[in-house]
């Protein structure tokens, strides 16, 4: 079970208050987590990564286990603590004012 934390704007969009729990089969990567997330909540398509290129949006960051994984390849394995559900995968709106 994977734990995902969305930024406040997207939590409100999907009408979820706390963490989201996802069951994944196969390798736990940024891509597989985001695929599963968007399958459950189609309205998230385009808000975290571009709908066509699937590239991370510029002002969205991925944090996990106190590390910034935003620039890791989308198919790189996430840390074991994420895959086991010990730590959440954090999707964060970049701190950039406004």
Residues in the site for another protein, rule: CB under 8 A?
A: 7-10, 12-13, 43, 45-48, 50-52, 57-60, 93-94, 96, 98
CB of 51 to another protein, least distance (A): 5
CB of 76 to another protein, least distance (A): 24
CA atoms of 4 and 88, how far apart (whole Å)? 5
CB of 73 to another protein, least distance (A): 22
Give SS3 for 82.
Answer: helix
- Output 36 or 48, the one with its CB closest to another protein: 48
| Beta-sheet strands, E only, within 1-98 | 2-5, 20-22, 60-64, 67-68, 89-93
> Which residue bears the tokens 């730590």?
87
């Amino acid at each position: 079970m994977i734990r995902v934390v969305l930024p406040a704007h997207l939590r409100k969009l999907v009408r979820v208050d706390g963490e989201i729990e996802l069951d994944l089969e196969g390798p736990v990567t940024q891509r597989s987590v985001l695929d599963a997330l968007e399958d459950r909540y189609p309205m998230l398509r385009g808000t975290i990564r571009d709908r066509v290129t699937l590239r991370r949006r510029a002002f969205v960051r991925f944090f996990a286990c106190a590390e910034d994984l935003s620039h890791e390849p989308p198919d790189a394995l996430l840390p074991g603590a994420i895959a086991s559900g010990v730590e959440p995968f954090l999707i964060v709106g970049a701190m950039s004012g406004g």
